[in-house]
Amino acid sequence: MSHKINGKVRAGGAELVAQACAGDRSAFAALYLQHYDDVFGFLYNRTRGDRHLAEDLTQEVFLRALRRLETFNAPRSSGFTGWLMVIARNIHLDHVKSARARLEVTVGEMADGDNRDRSAELSALRELDIAEASESVAAALSVLTPYQRECIELRFLEGLSVPETAARLGKGIGATKTVQFRALQQMRSTLTAEAVAA
């Protein structure tokens, strides 16, 4: 199966992995689209059907893979998918360990934290960062409503926090998170549809 990224038709499999390992961000974007469902499905099962957590951890898998591409060794591994699954398993184990540690935090310390929001913010930033590897992100932005587009631009182009974005939009934090979530899902659907059509 070939993928059209940045106007180029790219082959699947080993060639795409080799291009990504050589620093081609658009090749990595194609691999992201190609392997997202497998990684998400694995983590969805591991998190016992917690969709939001599985999505957060899936983004962490691809960020770690992007940072460690130079360590991928095709002859010694069970393939790129297997390599991603090893990363996914390790990230899930890290999450379980950190969740246990968080249970020991006092109620007072927990009140000061905003770890879930930060985790969601970082996951969204990672997803956008990977998507920006392809010029297709412009097309993905164009399918959003003006309100969704403004939310995404404030969050990721201007780097505002969720509360800051909510204040600029004149909406509550919960409503802003919902708009951001739906906008990112719409962008992912558009990018996936482009890859399938290519």
Please tell me the least confidently modeled range out of 1-15, 30-44, 80-94: 1-15
Token pair recorded at residue 178: 């919902």
Burial of 154 (0-12, 13-18, 19+ CB in 10 A): buried
Q: pTM of the predicted model, to two decimals? A: 0.47
> pLDDT digits over 129-173, tens only?
554 444 556 677 778 888 888 888 888 777 788 899 999 999 999
Cβ 42 vs Cβ 82: under 8 Å: no
Kindly list the structural domains of the chain, giving each domain's residue range(s) and its CATH number in brackets, ordered by start.
135-198 (1.10.10.10)
pLDDT bracket for residue 194 (50, 70, 90): low
> pLDDT digits over 60-103, tens only?
898 888 888 877 776 555 678 888 888 999 988 887 777 655 54
Separation CA 198–CA 5 (nearest Å): 8
